[in-house]
Structure formats: structure tokens, C-alpha cells
Amino acid sequence: MLNLAQVKKNENAGELELRLLARQQSETCWELIDPENVPLTEPFSAGSPILHNAAANEGLLVLVDISENQEILNIQPAKDWVLEVVEQYLTTGVTPTFLKEEAERTEQWRQDLTLQSQNLTRQRLEMEARRERIETLEEELKQREKELEEKTKKLGDQTESDSDESDE
């Protein structure tokens, strides 16, 4: 796992160690961690080309790849990485304050969209209820129309039979 670390001298042992400061969570997400010290092991001790001069390298920021067993797999200077972060984010005005404001605005949009979605769902349910009511009324109207037709037919039949009787 990739970590941002600072080279530091262990006062008790007199050797260099790495003070882990941040850990990469994903390609674009890093997490600050409680600083933790990891001793430098061979081949990454003071003889390493990156750390060739212990006194000069104290305080140096490095990117260190560490296994789950806390074994150092790779160390590289963090200078290029830091400059890339500055170029990508800080030169365009992407600051922690800006990111926080954007996160707050995004959360507000999410809440607004949730409210809109709830309103649309409520309106849809109301429309469905109205549609069902209209269908019920249409059925009732058809039933009444049928009843009226039957009554009209009976009256027509009765009128015919009455007029047939009076003709005789």
C-alpha cells in the first residue's frame, strides 16, 4: 500500500526510519493517518541511492510502498508527486476550502433531488389514484347507461304494447 512518509532519525537507535503520514485509499483519495514509525530495512537503509546521506535526508518526504507485513517494497522521492498534486489542483484553485464547499453544494443538490424525487413519486401516486377513480366512474357511468337503455327499451316495449291494445 502506498504511503506518504517523512524520513526521520530514530534518536534511540541512531538509524533512519520512516514516519508514515498518509495512506492512499484509491487512485485519487488519500487518508491522513496517525503518524507511525517504520524502521528502514535493507536494501532501503542509509546505503540506498535515495537515502545516501542520512543527515541530508532527514525530513525528506518520500512515497513508500509497504506490504501488509510492514515490509518496505519500494521507496521513491515524493518531490515529483507533490509537484504534480500542486499542478493539478492548487494551480487551478482547487483548495481544501473549495473542495469542502463543493461537497456541501453536492450534498445540497442530493437533498434537493431526493425531495424532487419524493414529490414526483407523490404526484405519480396521486395521478394513479385519480386514474383509478376515473376508471371507476367510467364503469359506473357505463352501468347507468346500460340501465337507462334497458329502462328505455322496456318503456318502448310497454308503449308499443299499450298502443297495440288501444288500436284493437
The C-alpha cell at 66 is: 509497504
Q: Is 165 contained in some domain? A: no
The residue from 37, 69, 90 where one domain ends is 90
| Residue 166 predicted with pLDDT over 90 | no
pLDDT tens column, 140-152: 999 999 999 999 9
CA-wise closest residue to 61 among 8, 98, 14, 107: 8
In sequence order, what are the residues at sequence separation of 6 or more whose Cβ sits closer than 8 angstroms to the Cβ of residue 76? 50, 62, 63, 64
pTM of the predicted model over 0.85: no
The predicted pLDDT at position 97 comes to 86
CA dihedral 57, 86, 5, 25 (to 10 degrees): -160
Same domain for 109 and 77: no
Prior bond of 43 cis (ω within 30°): yes
> Which of 75, 90, 105 is the C-terminal boundary of a domain?
90
- Report yes or no on 160 lying in a domain: no
Does residue 150 belong to any structural domain of this protein?
A: yes
Number of domains in the chain: 2
Residue at 21 is within a domain: yes
pLDDT of residue 61: 92
Q: Is residue 163 part of a domain?
A: no
Identify the weakest region by mean pLDDT among 8-12, 41-45, 88-92, 118-122: 41-45
φ, ψ for residue 156, nearest 5 deg: -65, -45
Q: What letter does residue 136 receive in the DSSP assignment?
A: H
143 vs 39, higher pLDDT: 143
**Domain membership flag for residue 67:** yes
> Which sign does the torsion angle of CA 133, 135, 137, 140 carry?
negative
pLDDT for res 46: 46
The listed range with the strongest mean pLDDT (53-62, 64-73, 132-141) is: 132-141
Same domain, yes or no: 15 and 65: yes
How many CB atoms lie under 10 A from the CB of residue 77? 14
pLDDT tens figures, 115-140: 999 999 999 999 999 999 999 999 99
User: 76-127, pLDDT tens digit by residue?
Assistant: 999 999 998 888 777 777 777 888 999 999 999 999 999 999 999 999 999 9
- What is the grid cell recorded at 62? 518520500
Tell me which of 65-74, 129-138, 159-168 is least confident. Answer: 159-168
Q: How far is CA 120 from the centre of its chain?
A: 22
- Domain that includes residue 85, residue range: 2-90
Check if the beta carbon of residue 29 is closer than 8 Å to that of residue 99.
no
Residue after which a domain boundary falls, among 90, 108, 125: 90
- Bridge partner list, 29: 26
